[in-house]
A and B are shown apart, each in its own frame.
Chain A
Amino acid sequence: MMCPQACKKNCSQLSPPTTGALYLHVPLCRRKCTYCDFYSIPICPETARDFVTAAIAELDAARGDLTVPLRSVFVGGGTPTAMDAKLLEILLRAVGPLVDKRTEFTVEANPGTIDPAIAGVLASAGVNRLSLGVQSLDVDELRTLGRIHTPDEVRRATDLLRSSGISNLSVDLIYGIPGQTPDSWRQTLRGALELAPQHVSCYALSFEGGTPLSDDLLSGRVAEMSDSLQKGCWLDARRILASAGFEHYEISNFALAESRCDHNITYWKNEPYVGIGPGAASYVNGYRTKNRPDLPAYIAAALVGKPVPCDSERLTGRKAMAETLMLALRMTQGVAIESFKRRFNVDPLLAFPRTFARYAELGAIEVSDSHVRLSPDALFVSDTILADILAEA
């Protein structure tokens, strides 16, 4: 499915030949959250079965693009754990031959979907990292977000996972929820730390067009948290998590030692990955493709052995450089000058002299011998800088 014929001639210099990261998108949910605009539809047993069959077919077809054993597998969604335990097991077993013990094998889960059967399947399939969509530990905030779980279920789920042998946990949290206060956010942070995770992601809520929550915002039923308060929440997260020993390694991500999310780092380093499932994106041989977010069309194509419908583009030259910077500058360490030079034969500072000079003068860009990075304060206004880099491309 991945690489159209056309690229075989001249793609070798753009990306390393090995693709060690696999993303598997399960576009199924029990109920869609009010803020979510990722592709998913309500789950029903028949669709779930067909999806799994189709995904396995797509994975087989993409097998040649992958370098085994994989460095990372990330099963996300949607809600992978919303599927019946049996089906989930079939899907995860299909990944089995591609991984070994060193593979970072993450599954995303809603705390309300973790039961002993699911936990057992996860552990036996070799999953060694669970990303829990906790979002908040406040009942009202969870309701605003349309989450199906309660704070109590979060604690039960983590206990169950740990007792099943999955000890590496990441929790996702959201700030900027309508009705949330700095206090309740700090309580959620502290509550999350009590779950003893190895990794925490703190995302600012974004109101995506077409979601129920964004409709509520437009009609005035809910109000957006001010930018100042949101920045306060982000600073709180940095402070509270730092004092618990977490390293702030990307705008929204924090990790204990040796616990960064290797899979996401693949994205930020602009290295190749294969995405499976409707709505999933891939980056192979310099081509970015995205499967159309249309589950029925996906199933119809995959079941008869046809390539699944997708859109594709290929960036080269300065556009590819700008995109690389756009991703790498999200990380607190920034972009590694040497690896950028190896890839593009030019120093990033010389490639985008206007933007870098302008923001260096403002103290927003910091340059060391090995790296160019955004200053800690500039991370929260990074889009301004990244947009300028893209415009200079």
Chain B
Amino acid sequence: MDSSRIRNFSIIAHIDHGKSTLADRVLLRTGAITRREFHDQMLDDMDLERERGITIKSSAVTVEFAYGGETYMLNMIDTPGHVDFHYEVSRSLTACEGALLVVDAAQGVEAQTVANVHLAQRTGLVLVPVVNKIDLPSASPEDTAMEIEHLLASSGQQRAAEDCIFTSAKSGEGVEEMLRAIVEQLPPPSGDADARVKALIFDSAYDDYRGVVVYVRLVDGKLNVGEKICMMGTGSVYQISEMGKFRPHPQRVQSLSAGEVGYIVASIRSLAAVHVGDTITLVNNPAAEALEGYRPPKQMVFSDFYPGPNTQFPELREALEKLLLNDASLTFQPISSEAMGFGFRCGFLGMLHMEIVQERLEREHGIEVVQTAPTVPYEVLLKDGSTVEVDSAGDLPEANHLEEIREPIVKVDLIVPSDAIGAVMQLSEDRRATYIETDYLSKDRVILSYEFPLAEIIYDFYDKLKSATRGYGTMDYEISGYRANDLVKLDVLVNNQCVDALSIICHRSKADLRGREIIRKLRKEISRHMFEIPLQAAIGSRVIARETIKALRKNVTAKCYGGDVTRKRKLLEKQKAGKKRMKMVGNVEIPQKAFLAVLEGD
């Protein structure tokens, strides 16, 4: 097809602002699916995503739309909806010329809306603003349109509130107008079909029968089935065995040309071999240089996974290997801990990613894990001038070898009601944040920008933000670099034994407080044993907090229950059933929750 009749676009929206339903509406209106097939969140295909109301894996759907006597090819590229997948979002957007900016008429602009606008702007996309859910009783479409106008103006795009398209994905109202706007307002792709092949990989998925399915946007040139291709970032070479488009059901094609979007199958066995953002070219006639913006996936949250009491180490390894098949962002390597035995240090894009992996291990593989508090990767400068990356407190070199410890810093946008500014500022200061600026979206909603140490927001910051803003606050973050800080290693001793899995790296000014908190939490989590258990927090050899768990006085079934032995046995088995996810450290049983408790604030 003539590339002037192609439009490549994404739908960008905050979680739950109706992106998926709107996408389904587009499929229905263009005849890609029947009304019978039309059901909510058609594009999301994992249970977990559906439950969490988010999209983890993106995909692309091609539809045809007749307009002004011409047939247009619309390629709708889905984007992941969570901050952990920032880089993946940015690659999906790079595959587009424009995007629908969808905002819920009842919720207004939220943190992810802002983050997405910034990303789209950096990618040079044309935005079509859409106010969705206009038929909700609590909707205020005009106010939302004003917020969008303000937001776009501050990001350098002049759009009047009147330019917004008002839709209800639920009823279908405004969808026709939205489709027309896509054709009218978004530019066609500008690639050169005769140039050397450059195709952007913006997503990939694993299929049990065909191996890896690679989603590409042809930027220049033309690809044909049977051709040998090369991934420019990794250098690996494959032969294309199948190409196609999702409409939304897969449909094979013999070739893909500049401007088009589709999938490639090429006997690729592992997702790890395919990097989002990488460029595909032809082996025989390669492009001179790759597309800009590629970087390998960077894990920013690490946690150690140990097999739970009913799981064996090899089972855990096998399950992680299986997960890796369709989650290329996950990393893991074997480790051993004095306290915990053998396990894996796992790397994740962010906290949500970590939770998803943990849940998938449990649901899809029946694997129980005991997991340590998540940590961020630190850059450590040694006295000898070398730098090492440390992603676990236990790996931190001895204090006398350290020159400085640098921690990852993130730029955070917080959108909060203006009456909550004070509470949010206090919360941010408590987390060592550096204030950047305030921007009023409207008279009662404001964007607060800060720089935070990543370590301060990975665990419970979002919950705290929610409670400081009566649930209205939203946040988004982006890694901005590393910075040296006065960081120390805090050790925890249970029954006089240092539990390496409980050690954390924290700022010196907070060490005393954190130490006391951790010890107090541990005291609650560890149940009484037959002996007294001292708990201590220490920096080096200096003990900064101490508590004692008293010895168990009584745990006995005094009466005999006549000959009803079964009843007595069941009572005892019940006592033990509550002790799942325990780890023996020395002679002390430490529950899984205790390992996470070290990161929780009050």
Contacts and interface: CB of A to CB of B under 8 A. Distances in A.
Contact of A290 (B530, B552, B564, B573): B564
Contacts of A323: 565, 569
Contacts of B555: 380-384
A364 B530 CA distance: 9
A386 interface: yes
B36 interface: no
B575 interface: yes
A47 B305 CA distance: 62
Interface string A365-381: 00000000000001111
Contacts of B563: 23, 267, 273, 275, 280-283
Interface string B561-579: 0111110110011011001
A251 B558 contact: yes
Contacts of A275: 562-563
Interface stretch (A5-13, A59-67, A163-171, A227-235): A227-235
A288 interface: yes
Contacts of B568: 326
B554 A387 contact: no
Interface in A198-225: 202-204, 206
Contacts of A378: 530
A379 B572 contact: no
A76 interface: yes
Contacts of B529: 384
B587 A361 contact: yes
B530 A390 contact: no
Nearest to A319: B569
A326 B554 contact: no
Nearest to B553: A227
B587 A362 contact: yes
B288 interface: no
A372 B222 CA distance: 80
A76 B556 contact: no
Contacts of B556: 204, 251, 379-383
Which one of A282, A283, A381 has the greatest number of beta carbons of chain B within 10 Å? A381
A313 interface: yes
A136 interface: no
Contacts of A76: 562
A188 interface: no
Interface residues of B, number: 25
Interface string B524-551: 0000011100000000000000000000
Contacts of B565: 267, 270, 281, 283, 288, 323, 326-327
Which one of B531, B556, B572, B573 has the greatest number of beta carbons of chain A within 10 Å? B556
Contacts of A391: 573, 576, 579
Contacts of A273: 563
Contacts of B576: 387-388, 390-391
A79 interface: no
A282 B560 CA distance: 14
A361 B530 CA distance: 12
A382 B572 CA distance: 10
A362 B557 CA distance: 21
A390 B564 CA distance: 17
Tell me if B's interface is mostly helix, strand, loop or mixed.
loop
A332 to B, nearest CB: 13
A383 B553 CA distance: 12
Contacts, number: 104
Given A281-B566, A390-B569, A252 B559 contact: yes
A1 to B, nearest CB: 15
Given A384-B552, A390-B572, A25 B562 contact: yes
Interface string A219-259: 00000000110110000000000000000000110000000
Nearest to A361: B587
A187 interface: no
A327 B567 CA distance: 12
A280 B562 contact: yes
Contacts of A386: 572
A39 to B, nearest CB: 10
Contact of B553 (A25, A228, A251, A290): A228
Contacts of A280: 562-563
B559 A203 contact: yes
Contacts of A387: 572-573, 575-576
Nearest to B571: A383
Which one of B530, B554, B555, B566 has the greatest number of beta carbons of chain A within 10 Å? B554
Interface string A303-342: 0000000000100000000010011000000000000000
A362 B529 CA distance: 11
A206 B562 contact: no
B154 to A, nearest CB: 59
B591 to A, nearest CB: 15
A380 B554 contact: yes
Contacts of A228: 553
Given A383-B575, A387-B572, A227 B558 contact: no
A384 B571 CA distance: 12
Contacts of A358: 587
B356 to A, nearest CB: 31
Interface in B509-533: 529-531
B559 A23 contact: no
A323 B569 CA distance: 7
A107 to B, nearest CB: 14
A358 B585 CA distance: 12
Given A23-B563, A327-B565, A380 B553 contact: yes
A202 B552 CA distance: 21
A326 B576 CA distance: 14
Interface string A352-363: 000000110110
Interface string B312-349: 00000000000000000000000000000000000000
B567 to A, nearest CB: 8
A281 B562 contact: yes
A252 B558 contact: yes
Contacts of A267: 560, 562-563, 565
Given A326-B572, A361-B587, A387-B573, A38 B562 contact: yes
Contacts of B558: 202-204, 206, 251-252
Contacts of A359: 530
A378 B559 CA distance: 17
A290 B567 CA distance: 10
A359 B576 CA distance: 16
A288 B566 CA distance: 8
Contacts of B562: 23, 25, 38, 76, 267, 275, 280-281
A197 to B, nearest CB: 18
Contacts of B559: 203-204, 206, 252
Nearest to A378: B530
A373 to B, nearest CB: 15
B573 to A, nearest CB: 6
Interface in A245-298: 251-252, 264, 267, 270, 273, 275, 280-283, 288, 290
Contact of A383 (B557, B564, B566, B579): B557
A384 B529 CA distance: 9
A358 B573 CA distance: 19
A252 B566 contact: no
Contacts of A231: 553-554
A307 B554 CA distance: 41
Given A264-B560, A283-B563, A381-B556, 11 more contacts: A203-B558, A204-B559, A206-B557, A251-B558, A267-B563, A280-B562, A281-B563, A362-B531, A382-B556, A384-B575, A390-B573
25 contacts: A23-B563, A202-B558, A204-B556, A204-B559, A206-B558, A251-B556, A252-B560, A273-B563, A275-B562, A280-B562, A281-B564, A281-B565, A290-B564, A359-B530, A364-B530, A378-B530, A380-B553, A380-B556, A381-B553, A381-B555, A381-B556, A384-B552, A387-B572, A388-B576, A390-B569
- Listed from nearest, the 9 A-B pairs whose CB atoms lie closest are A204-B558, A227-B553, A227-B554, A281-B563, A281-B564, A391-B576, A383-B555, A387-B575, A387-B572
